[in-house]
Protein backbone atom coordinates (compact mmCIF):
# COMPACT_ATOMS: atom_id res chain seq x y z
CA UNK A 1 0.00 0.00 0.00
CA UNK A 2 1.67 3.23 -1.03
CA UNK A 3 1.31 6.77 0.18
CA UNK A 4 -1.97 8.25 -1.02
CA UNK A 5 -1.28 11.93 -0.32
CA UNK A 6 -2.51 13.95 -3.31
CA UNK A 7 -2.62 17.63 -4.23
CA UNK A 8 -4.18 17.01 -7.67
CA UNK A 9 -6.86 14.38 -8.17
CA UNK A 10 -5.78 11.69 -10.65
CA UNK A 11 -8.36 9.35 -12.14
CA UNK A 12 -6.57 6.99 -14.50
CA UNK A 13 -2.96 6.98 -13.39
CA UNK A 14 -3.22 5.07 -10.08
CA UNK A 15 -4.49 1.94 -11.87
CA UNK A 16 -2.60 2.31 -15.12
CA UNK A 17 0.82 3.09 -13.66
CA UNK A 18 1.01 2.80 -9.86
CA UNK A 19 4.79 3.32 -9.95
CA UNK A 20 4.57 6.77 -11.51
CA UNK A 21 1.45 7.56 -9.46
CA UNK A 22 3.42 6.84 -6.30
CA UNK A 23 6.29 9.04 -7.48
CA UNK A 24 3.83 11.91 -8.09
CA UNK A 25 2.29 11.41 -4.66
CA UNK A 26 5.67 11.39 -2.97
CA UNK A 27 6.71 14.54 -4.84
CA UNK A 28 3.44 16.23 -3.88
CA UNK A 29 4.13 15.34 -0.25
CA UNK A 30 7.71 16.64 -0.57
CA UNK A 31 6.46 19.95 -1.98
CA UNK A 32 3.78 20.21 0.71
CA UNK A 33 6.15 19.46 3.59
CA UNK A 34 9.28 21.33 2.44
CA UNK A 35 10.33 24.94 2.46
CA UNK A 36 11.34 25.41 -1.15
CA UNK A 37 13.94 28.17 -1.24
CA UNK A 38 15.37 27.36 -4.66
CA UNK A 39 15.38 30.84 -6.21
CA UNK A 40 14.59 29.60 -9.72
CA UNK A 41 11.48 27.62 -8.74
CA UNK A 42 7.92 28.57 -7.94
CA UNK A 43 4.43 27.16 -7.45
CA UNK A 44 2.10 27.60 -10.42
CA UNK A 45 -1.65 28.02 -10.07
CA UNK A 46 -4.01 25.10 -10.53
CA UNK A 47 -5.25 26.82 -13.69
CA UNK A 48 -1.74 26.71 -15.14
CA UNK A 49 -1.42 23.04 -14.12
CA UNK A 50 -4.71 22.21 -15.80
CA UNK A 51 -3.78 23.88 -19.10
CA UNK A 52 -0.42 22.17 -18.97
CA UNK A 53 -1.94 18.74 -18.36
CA UNK A 54 -4.46 19.09 -21.17
CA UNK A 55 -5.27 17.47 -24.53
CA UNK A 56 -3.22 20.12 -26.29
CA UNK A 57 -0.29 17.78 -25.71
CA UNK A 58 -1.81 15.63 -28.48
CA UNK A 59 -1.36 18.27 -31.16
CA UNK A 60 1.50 18.79 -33.61
CA UNK A 61 1.75 22.39 -34.79
CA UNK A 62 5.13 23.00 -36.42
CA UNK A 63 5.11 26.52 -37.75
CA UNK A 64 3.24 29.55 -36.46
CA UNK A 65 -0.48 30.46 -36.18
CA UNK A 66 -2.00 30.58 -39.66
CA UNK A 67 1.07 28.93 -41.23
CA UNK A 68 1.39 25.40 -39.86
CA UNK A 69 2.67 22.19 -41.38
CA UNK A 70 -0.36 20.28 -40.00
CA UNK A 71 -4.12 20.46 -40.29
CA UNK A 72 -6.41 20.73 -37.29
CA UNK A 73 -4.58 23.70 -35.77
CA UNK A 74 -7.54 26.10 -35.44
CA UNK A 75 -7.72 25.89 -31.65
CA UNK A 76 -4.02 25.75 -30.93
CA UNK A 77 -3.59 28.73 -33.25
CA UNK A 78 -5.99 30.65 -31.03
CA UNK A 79 -4.09 29.61 -27.92
CA UNK A 80 -0.73 30.69 -29.35
CA UNK A 81 -2.11 34.00 -30.67
CA UNK A 82 -3.58 34.73 -27.24
CA UNK A 83 -0.30 33.88 -25.55
CA UNK A 84 1.65 36.17 -27.91
CA UNK A 85 -0.81 39.04 -27.60
CA UNK A 86 -0.77 38.79 -23.82
CA UNK A 87 3.04 38.63 -23.71
CA UNK A 88 3.24 41.75 -25.88
CA UNK A 89 0.79 43.55 -23.57
CA UNK A 90 2.40 42.45 -20.32
CA UNK A 91 5.95 43.29 -21.41
CA UNK A 92 5.04 46.10 -23.85
CA UNK A 93 6.93 44.33 -26.63
CA UNK A 94 6.63 44.69 -30.40
CA UNK A 95 7.04 40.96 -30.90
CA UNK A 96 6.83 37.84 -28.74
CA UNK A 97 7.76 34.24 -29.48
CA UNK A 98 6.34 31.80 -26.95
CA UNK A 99 7.70 28.60 -28.46
CA UNK A 100 11.12 28.21 -26.78
CA UNK A 101 11.06 25.07 -24.67
CA UNK A 102 13.35 26.69 -22.09
CA UNK A 103 15.43 29.75 -21.33
CA UNK A 104 18.47 27.92 -22.72
CA UNK A 105 16.81 27.36 -26.09
CA UNK A 106 15.50 30.94 -26.11
CA UNK A 107 19.09 32.19 -25.71
CA UNK A 108 20.40 29.84 -28.35
CA UNK A 109 17.70 30.98 -30.78
CA UNK A 110 18.83 34.61 -30.30
CA UNK A 111 22.46 33.64 -30.99
CA UNK A 112 21.37 31.67 -34.05
CA UNK A 113 19.34 34.64 -35.29
CA UNK A 114 22.02 37.31 -34.83
CA UNK A 115 25.41 35.63 -35.11
CA UNK A 116 27.53 33.41 -37.29
CA UNK A 117 29.52 30.65 -35.56
CA UNK A 118 32.82 31.97 -34.23
CA UNK A 119 31.61 35.54 -33.66
CA UNK A 120 32.34 37.20 -30.35
CA UNK A 121 29.94 37.22 -27.44
CA UNK A 122 30.43 38.72 -24.00
CA UNK A 123 28.43 37.54 -20.97
CA UNK A 124 28.71 37.49 -17.21
CA UNK A 125 31.16 34.96 -15.78
CA UNK A 126 29.37 31.80 -14.63
CA UNK A 127 31.36 31.80 -11.38
CA UNK A 128 30.25 35.38 -10.64
CA UNK A 129 26.55 34.62 -11.12
CA UNK A 130 26.20 34.37 -14.91
CA UNK A 131 24.56 31.50 -16.75
CA UNK A 132 25.89 28.48 -18.63
CA UNK A 133 24.22 29.66 -21.82
CA UNK A 134 25.95 33.06 -21.72
CA UNK A 135 29.19 31.70 -23.15
CA UNK A 136 30.43 29.02 -20.75
CA UNK A 137 33.03 26.82 -22.46
CA UNK A 138 31.09 23.68 -21.55
CA UNK A 139 27.95 24.99 -23.26
CA UNK A 140 27.20 25.32 -26.96
CA UNK A 141 27.28 29.11 -26.49
CA UNK A 142 30.98 28.88 -25.61
CA UNK A 143 31.81 26.19 -28.17
CA UNK A 144 30.19 27.61 -31.32
CA UNK A 145 30.82 31.26 -30.52
CA UNK A 146 33.99 32.99 -29.38
CA UNK A 147 33.00 33.77 -25.82
CA UNK A 148 34.41 36.19 -23.27
CA UNK A 149 33.20 37.15 -19.82
CA UNK A 150 32.97 40.08 -17.44
CA UNK A 151 32.79 39.75 -13.68
CA UNK A 152 31.78 41.65 -10.58
CA UNK A 153 33.99 43.97 -8.54
CA UNK A 154 36.27 42.05 -6.18
CA UNK A 155 35.52 44.27 -3.20
CA UNK A 156 31.79 44.92 -3.43
CA UNK A 157 30.71 41.90 -5.54
CA UNK A 158 28.65 44.41 -7.54
CA UNK A 159 28.65 44.81 -11.30
CA UNK A 160 30.67 47.90 -12.06
CA UNK A 161 29.90 49.19 -15.54
CA UNK A 162 33.26 50.98 -15.79
CA UNK A 163 34.97 47.62 -15.38
CA UNK A 164 32.54 46.02 -17.85
CA UNK A 165 33.24 48.85 -20.32
CA UNK A 166 36.97 47.96 -20.29
CA UNK A 167 36.08 44.38 -21.22
CA UNK A 168 33.66 45.53 -23.91
CA UNK A 169 36.31 47.80 -25.45
CA UNK A 170 38.93 45.05 -25.31
CA UNK A 171 36.73 42.29 -26.76
CA UNK A 172 34.57 44.33 -29.16
CA UNK A 173 31.86 41.65 -29.12
CA UNK A 174 29.06 41.40 -31.64
CA UNK A 175 26.63 40.51 -28.83
CA UNK A 176 26.61 41.45 -25.16
CA UNK A 177 24.47 39.41 -22.78
CA UNK A 178 23.25 41.14 -19.63
CA UNK A 179 21.44 39.14 -16.98
CA UNK A 180 22.34 36.65 -14.29
CA UNK A 181 21.44 33.47 -12.54
CA UNK A 182 22.72 34.33 -9.11
CA UNK A 183 23.13 38.04 -8.62
CA UNK A 184 20.85 39.57 -5.98
CA UNK A 185 20.96 43.18 -7.18
CA UNK A 186 19.24 45.20 -9.89
CA UNK A 187 21.22 45.17 -13.11
CA UNK A 188 21.55 48.44 -15.00
CA UNK A 189 20.36 47.09 -18.36
CA UNK A 190 20.16 50.61 -19.78
CA UNK A 191 23.83 51.11 -18.92
CA UNK A 192 24.62 47.86 -20.75
CA UNK A 193 22.79 49.19 -23.80
CA UNK A 194 25.05 52.27 -23.78
CA UNK A 195 28.11 50.02 -23.63
CA UNK A 196 26.78 47.93 -26.52
CA UNK A 197 26.21 51.05 -28.60
CA UNK A 198 29.78 52.22 -28.00
CA UNK A 199 31.06 49.20 -29.96
CA UNK A 200 28.07 48.58 -32.25
CA UNK A 201 27.11 45.35 -30.46
CA UNK A 202 23.67 43.86 -30.03
CA UNK A 203 22.32 43.72 -26.48
CA UNK A 204 20.51 40.60 -25.29
CA UNK A 205 18.95 40.91 -21.84
CA UNK A 206 18.26 37.56 -20.20
CA UNK A 207 15.73 38.41 -17.49
CA UNK A 208 14.92 34.77 -16.65
CA UNK A 209 15.14 35.42 -12.92
CA UNK A 210 13.37 38.75 -12.77
CA UNK A 211 10.63 38.57 -15.42
CA UNK A 212 7.94 38.53 -12.72
CA UNK A 213 9.10 41.88 -11.34
CA UNK A 214 9.26 43.39 -14.82
CA UNK A 215 5.77 42.08 -15.61
CA UNK A 216 4.49 43.68 -12.40
CA UNK A 217 6.20 47.01 -13.15
CA UNK A 218 8.47 46.72 -10.12
CA UNK A 219 11.74 46.47 -12.04
CA UNK A 220 12.61 48.61 -15.08
CA UNK A 221 11.47 47.00 -18.34
CA UNK A 222 14.47 46.28 -20.62
CA UNK A 223 12.27 45.48 -23.64
CA UNK A 224 12.06 49.14 -24.75
CA UNK A 225 15.76 49.61 -25.42
CA UNK A 226 17.37 46.13 -25.72
CA UNK A 227 17.66 44.41 -29.06
CA UNK A 228 16.19 41.22 -27.65
CA UNK A 229 15.05 39.96 -24.28
CA UNK A 230 14.72 36.34 -23.19
CA UNK A 231 13.11 34.90 -20.10
CA UNK A 232 11.92 31.71 -18.55
CA UNK A 233 8.28 31.53 -17.61
CA UNK A 234 8.64 29.36 -14.50
CA UNK A 235 10.77 31.39 -12.10
CA UNK A 236 9.50 34.62 -10.54
CA UNK A 237 7.05 34.89 -13.43
CA UNK A 238 5.15 31.89 -11.92
CA UNK A 239 4.08 30.16 -15.12
CA UNK A 240 4.78 26.75 -16.65
CA UNK A 241 8.32 25.53 -17.31
CA UNK A 242 9.51 27.12 -20.56
CA UNK A 243 11.01 30.14 -22.28
CA UNK A 244 10.07 33.17 -24.35
CA UNK A 245 11.71 35.78 -26.53
CA UNK A 246 10.62 39.43 -26.68
CA UNK A 247 11.82 42.13 -28.98
CA UNK A 248 11.10 44.94 -31.32
CA UNK A 249 8.94 44.20 -34.35
CA UNK A 250 11.97 44.49 -36.66
CA UNK A 251 13.39 41.25 -35.22
CA UNK A 252 10.15 39.26 -35.59
CA UNK A 253 10.97 37.27 -38.68
CA UNK A 254 14.61 36.61 -37.71
CA UNK A 255 13.60 35.31 -34.30
CA UNK A 256 10.67 33.23 -35.48
CA UNK A 257 12.80 31.52 -38.13
CA UNK A 258 15.58 30.90 -35.61
CA UNK A 259 13.18 29.14 -33.21
CA UNK A 260 11.45 27.16 -35.97
CA UNK A 261 12.74 25.69 -38.23
CA UNK A 262 16.17 26.82 -36.96
CA UNK A 263 16.29 25.17 -33.59
CA UNK A 264 13.14 23.40 -32.49
CA UNK A 265 10.54 21.08 -33.96
CA UNK A 266 6.92 20.98 -32.83
CA UNK A 267 6.00 23.55 -30.21
CA UNK A 268 4.58 22.28 -26.92
CA UNK A 269 1.05 23.60 -27.37
CA UNK A 270 -0.11 22.57 -23.89
CA UNK A 271 2.77 24.59 -22.43
CA UNK A 272 2.03 27.56 -24.68
CA UNK A 273 -1.60 27.49 -23.48
CA UNK A 274 -0.35 27.38 -19.90
CA UNK A 275 1.95 30.33 -20.64
CA UNK A 276 -1.15 32.21 -21.86
CA UNK A 277 -2.92 31.41 -18.57
CA UNK A 278 0.06 32.66 -16.55
CA UNK A 279 0.24 35.82 -18.68
CA UNK A 280 -3.42 36.51 -17.91
CA UNK A 281 -2.68 36.02 -14.21
CA UNK A 282 0.15 38.53 -14.59
CA UNK A 283 -2.41 41.16 -15.64
CA UNK A 284 -4.41 40.88 -12.39
CA UNK A 285 -3.89 43.33 -9.49
CA UNK A 286 -3.18 40.38 -7.17
CA UNK A 287 -0.08 39.64 -9.25
CA UNK A 288 1.51 42.99 -8.40
CA UNK A 289 0.75 42.35 -4.76
CA UNK A 290 2.36 38.92 -5.03
CA UNK A 291 5.54 40.23 -6.67
CA UNK A 292 5.82 43.02 -4.08
CA UNK A 293 5.60 40.39 -1.35
CA UNK A 294 8.33 38.29 -3.01
CA UNK A 295 10.63 41.33 -2.84
CA UNK A 296 9.60 42.27 0.73
CA UNK A 297 10.14 38.72 1.88
CA UNK A 298 13.61 38.62 0.32
CA UNK A 299 14.53 41.86 2.10
CA UNK A 300 13.17 40.49 5.39
CA UNK A 301 15.09 37.24 4.91
CA UNK A 302 18.28 39.19 4.13
CA UNK A 303 17.86 41.27 7.29
CA UNK A 304 17.16 38.23 9.44
CA UNK A 305 20.16 36.35 8.06
CA UNK A 306 22.40 39.37 8.64
CA UNK A 307 21.15 39.63 12.22
CA UNK A 308 22.28 36.02 12.68
CA UNK A 309 25.78 36.97 11.51
CA UNK A 310 25.51 35.51 8.01
CA UNK A 311 27.52 37.38 5.39
CA UNK A 312 25.49 38.21 2.30
CA UNK A 313 27.11 38.69 -1.08
CA UNK A 314 26.64 42.41 -1.93
CA UNK A 315 25.28 42.92 1.59
CA UNK A 316 21.60 42.49 0.69
CA UNK A 317 19.12 42.11 -2.13
CA UNK A 318 16.94 44.00 -4.62
CA UNK A 319 15.41 40.80 -5.95
CA UNK A 320 14.03 37.45 -4.79
CA UNK A 321 17.54 36.11 -4.15
CA UNK A 322 19.75 36.12 -1.09
CA UNK A 323 23.25 34.84 -1.76
CA UNK A 324 24.98 33.72 1.43
CA UNK A 325 28.75 33.49 1.86
CA UNK A 326 29.21 30.76 4.47
CA UNK A 327 32.93 31.08 5.07
CA UNK A 328 32.56 32.67 8.50
CA UNK A 329 30.28 29.78 9.52
CA UNK A 330 32.90 27.13 8.71
CA UNK A 331 30.51 25.09 6.62
CA UNK A 332 30.70 24.60 2.85
CA UNK A 333 27.84 25.15 0.40
CA UNK A 334 27.48 21.43 -0.22
CA UNK A 335 27.45 20.59 3.50
CA UNK A 336 24.84 23.29 4.09
CA UNK A 337 22.66 22.11 1.20
CA UNK A 338 22.79 18.52 2.51
CA UNK A 339 22.08 19.47 6.12
CA UNK A 340 19.16 21.67 5.08
CA UNK A 341 17.76 18.91 2.88
CA UNK A 342 17.61 16.69 5.97
CA UNK A 343 15.24 19.15 7.64
CA UNK A 344 13.12 19.66 4.49
CA UNK A 345 14.58 23.00 3.46
CA UNK A 346 15.57 23.02 -0.23
CA UNK A 347 18.34 25.39 -1.27
CA UNK A 348 21.19 25.15 -3.73
CA UNK A 349 24.89 25.35 -3.07
CA UNK A 350 26.27 28.29 -5.01
CA UNK A 351 29.60 29.82 -5.87
CA UNK A 352 30.33 33.24 -4.43
CA UNK A 353 32.35 35.68 -6.59
CA UNK A 354 36.08 34.84 -6.56
CA UNK A 355 35.21 31.64 -4.70
CA UNK A 356 38.28 29.96 -3.21
CA UNK A 357 36.47 26.59 -3.35
CA UNK A 358 35.45 24.53 -6.40
CA UNK A 359 32.06 24.58 -8.18
CA UNK A 360 30.94 21.19 -6.76
CA UNK A 361 31.45 22.31 -3.18
CA UNK A 362 31.48 26.10 -3.25
CA UNK A 363 31.44 28.59 -0.38
CA UNK A 364 27.84 29.71 -0.58
CA UNK A 365 24.17 28.92 -0.83
CA UNK A 366 21.49 30.75 -2.81
CA UNK A 367 18.13 31.34 -1.17
CA UNK A 368 14.94 32.52 -2.86
CA UNK A 369 11.49 33.65 -1.79
CA UNK A 370 9.13 33.06 -4.78
CA UNK A 371 7.70 29.70 -3.63
CA UNK A 372 7.45 30.65 0.04
CA UNK A 373 5.52 33.76 -1.01
CA UNK A 374 3.23 31.75 -3.28
CA UNK A 375 2.30 29.75 -0.16
CA UNK A 376 1.25 32.98 1.57
CA UNK A 377 4.26 33.42 3.85
CA UNK A 378 5.32 36.88 4.98
CA UNK A 379 8.26 38.57 6.76
CA UNK A 380 7.40 36.94 10.08
CA UNK A 381 7.98 33.51 8.54
CA UNK A 382 11.19 34.76 6.89
CA UNK A 383 12.60 35.50 10.35
CA UNK A 384 11.54 32.08 11.58
CA UNK A 385 13.12 30.41 8.54
CA UNK A 386 16.42 32.28 8.98
CA UNK A 387 16.56 30.87 12.54
CA UNK A 388 15.73 27.38 11.27
CA UNK A 389 18.62 27.65 8.79
CA UNK A 390 21.03 28.85 11.47
CA UNK A 391 19.98 26.11 13.90
CA UNK A 392 20.29 23.45 11.19
CA UNK A 393 23.85 24.43 10.36
CA UNK A 394 24.80 24.47 14.03
CA UNK A 395 23.14 21.06 14.64
CA UNK A 396 24.27 19.45 11.39
CA UNK A 397 26.07 16.59 13.18
CA UNK A 398 23.20 15.81 15.53
CA UNK A 399 20.54 13.52 14.04
CA UNK A 400 18.31 14.18 17.05
CA UNK A 401 18.62 17.97 16.67
CA UNK A 402 17.94 17.77 12.93
CA UNK A 403 14.88 15.57 13.59
CA UNK A 404 13.37 18.22 15.87
CA UNK A 405 14.05 21.01 13.38
CA UNK A 406 12.49 18.96 10.58
CA UNK A 407 9.28 18.62 12.58
CA UNK A 408 9.16 22.42 13.06
CA UNK A 409 9.66 22.86 9.32
CA UNK A 410 6.80 20.48 8.54
CA UNK A 411 4.53 22.23 11.03
CA UNK A 412 5.30 25.59 9.40
CA UNK A 413 4.64 24.15 5.94
CA UNK A 414 1.29 22.75 7.02
CA UNK A 415 0.24 26.19 8.26
CA UNK A 416 0.78 27.42 4.67
CA UNK A 417 -0.40 24.53 2.50
CA UNK A 418 0.31 24.50 -1.21
CA UNK A 419 -2.78 24.70 -3.43
CA UNK A 420 -4.97 25.66 -0.49
CA UNK A 421 -7.18 28.03 -2.52
N1 LIG B 1 19.08 26.64 -13.28
C2 LIG B 1 18.56 27.98 -13.27
C3 LIG B 1 18.81 28.61 -11.94
O4 LIG B 1 18.68 27.91 -10.97
O5 LIG B 1 19.08 29.79 -11.85
C6 LIG B 1 19.08 28.75 -14.34
O7 LIG B 1 18.90 28.04 -15.53
- Residue 9: per-residue pLDDT: 86
Report residue 8's pLDDT band, with 50, 70 and 90 as the boundaries. confident
CA distance 293 to 289: 6
Q: Is 40 in the pocket of ligand 1 (CB under 6 A)?
A: yes
Ligand 1 centroid from CA 102, angstroms: 11
Q: What is the pLDDT of residues 271-298, one digit of tens each?
A: 999 999 999 999 999 999 999 999 999 9
Q: Which residues are catalytic?
A: 60, 62, 206, 232, 235, 241
Asked if 150 and 122 count as a contact pair (C-beta separation under 8 A), the reply is yes
- pTM of this prediction? 0.96
Cα(355)–Cα(201) distance, integer angstroms: 30
Over the stretch 87-129, which tens digit does the pLDDT of each residue have?
999 999 999 999 999 999 999 999 999 999 999 999 999 999 9
According to DSSP, residue 219 is labeled S
Question: Which residue, judged by its Cα, is nearest atom 5 of ligand 1?
Answer: 181
Ligand 1 contact, 42 CB (< 6 A) = no
Give the pLDDT confidence of 127-153 residue by residue, as tens digits: 999 999 999 999 999 999 999 999 999
Task: Give 336-377 pLDDT, tens digit per residue.
Answer: 999 999 999 999 999 999 999 999 999 999 999 999 999 999
The pLDDT value recorded for residue 1 is 38
Distance CA 408, CA 68 (A): 54
* pLDDT confidence tier of residue 199, bands split at 50, 70 and 90: very high
Q: What percent of the chain has pLDDT over 70?
A: 98
What confidence score (pLDDT) does residue 196 get?
Answer: 98
Helix H, strand E, coil C: the string for 237-272 is: CCCCCCEEEEECHHHHHHHHHHHHHHHCCCCCHHHH
Residues 6+ apart with CB under 8 A from 406: 342, 343, 344
- Predicted confidence band of residue 3 (pLDDT cuts 50, 70, 90): very low
Averaged pLDDT, 59-73: 98
Which 3 state secondary structure label does DSSP give 361?
Answer: coil
**What average pLDDT does range 19-45 have in this prediction?**
97
Q: Which residues contact 250 (CB under 8 A, 6 or more apart)?
A: 94
**15 CA distance to ligand 1 middle (Å):** 35
- Could you identify the atom of ligand 1 that is nearest to the CA of residue 39? 4
According to DSSP, the residues that pair with 202 across neighbouring strands are: 175
Nearest 5 degrees, angle CA 198-CA 226-CA 106?
120
Amino acid sequence: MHNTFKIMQRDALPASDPDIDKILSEEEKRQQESLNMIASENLVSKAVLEAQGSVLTNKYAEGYPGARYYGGCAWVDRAERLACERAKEVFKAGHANLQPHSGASANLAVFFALLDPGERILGMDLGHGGHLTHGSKVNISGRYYHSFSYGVDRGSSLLDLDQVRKKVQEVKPKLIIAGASSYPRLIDFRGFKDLAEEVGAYLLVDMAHTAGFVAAGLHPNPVHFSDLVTATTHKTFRGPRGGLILGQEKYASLIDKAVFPGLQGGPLMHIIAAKAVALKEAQQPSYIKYQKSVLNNAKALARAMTDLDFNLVTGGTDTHQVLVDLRNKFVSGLEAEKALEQVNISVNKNAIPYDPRGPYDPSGIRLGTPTLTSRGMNPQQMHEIASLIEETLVSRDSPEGLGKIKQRVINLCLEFPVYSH
